C-alpha cells in the first residue's frame, strides 16, 4: 500500500505536527538530563505524538463533521499540553538551550493557531456528502 496517497499527509497541520514530533523526540533524548527523559520528557513526547495521532484519527472520521471536529479539538488541546510541558522543562532548567526552547515554543504556538483555524474552516465549510 502506498502510504503517500493518504490524504491526511497532505494537511499542513499534519506536516507541522510530524516535524515537531521528530524534533521534540530528539530534543528529549539529546538535551535533557537522564532522569528527565523518563519524567517530563516522556510526557512531552506523548502529548506531541497525541497531536499528530488525533489529526490522523479525525481525518479518518471526516465524513462525520462532529467526529472530525472532536478529534481536531483533542489535537488542539494536546498542543497546548505540549507547550505547557516545554515551558516546565525550560523553567526548571532541565532544558537549558534558550534558542531551542524559543524555536519549539514559537512553532508549537503556530501549530495551535493552525489547528484552531483548520477546525473553524471544517466547522464552516464541511460537507458530509463529500469525502
CATH code at 57?
1.20.1440.60
Within a domain: 49 = yes
Range of the domain at 70: 12-124
In the chain, the percentage of residues whose pLDDT exceeds 70 is: 93
**pLDDT band, residue 3 (cuts 50/70/90):** very low
Tell me how many domains the chain contains.
Answer: 1
Contact assessment for residue 28 and residue 44, using Cβ atoms and an 8 Å cutoff: yes
Within a domain: 108 = yes
Question: Which residues make Cβ contacts (< 8 Å) with residue 110, sequence separation at least 6?
Answer: 16
Within a domain: 7 = no
Within a domain: 79 = yes
Tens of pLDDT, residue by residue over 47-96, are: 999 999 999 999 999 999 999 999 999 999 999 999 999 999 999 999 99
Within a domain: 2 = no
Within a domain: 129 = no
Higher per-residue pLDDT: 3 or 101: 101
Question: Which residues make Cβ contacts (< 8 Å) with residue 7, sequence separation at least 6?
Answer: 59
Mean pLDDT of 4-17: 88
Within a domain: 1 = no
Amino acid at each position: 500500500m502506498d502510504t503517500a496517497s493518504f490524504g491526511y499527509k497532505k494537511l499542513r497541520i499534519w506536516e507541522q505536527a510530524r516535524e515537531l514530533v521528530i524534533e521534540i523526540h530528539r530534543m528529549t533524548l539529546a538535551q535533557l538530563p537522564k532522569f528527565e527523559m523518563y519524567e517530563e520528557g516522556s510526557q512531552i513526547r506523548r502529548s506531541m505524538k497525541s497531536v499528530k495521532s488525533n489529526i490522523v484519527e479525525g481525518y479518518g472520521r471526516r465524513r462525520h463533521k462532529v467526529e472530525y471536529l472532536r478529534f481536531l479539538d483533542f489535537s488542539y488541546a494536546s498542543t497546548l499540553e505540549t507547550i505547557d510541558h516545554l515551558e516546565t522543562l525550560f523553567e526548571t532548567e532541565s532544558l537549558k538551550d534558550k534558542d531551542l526552547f524559543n524555536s519549539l515554543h514559537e512553532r508549537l504556538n503556530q501549530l495551535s493557531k493552525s489547528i484552531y483555524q483548520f477546525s473553524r474552516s471544517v466547522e464552516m465549510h464541511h460537507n458530509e456528502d463529500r469525502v
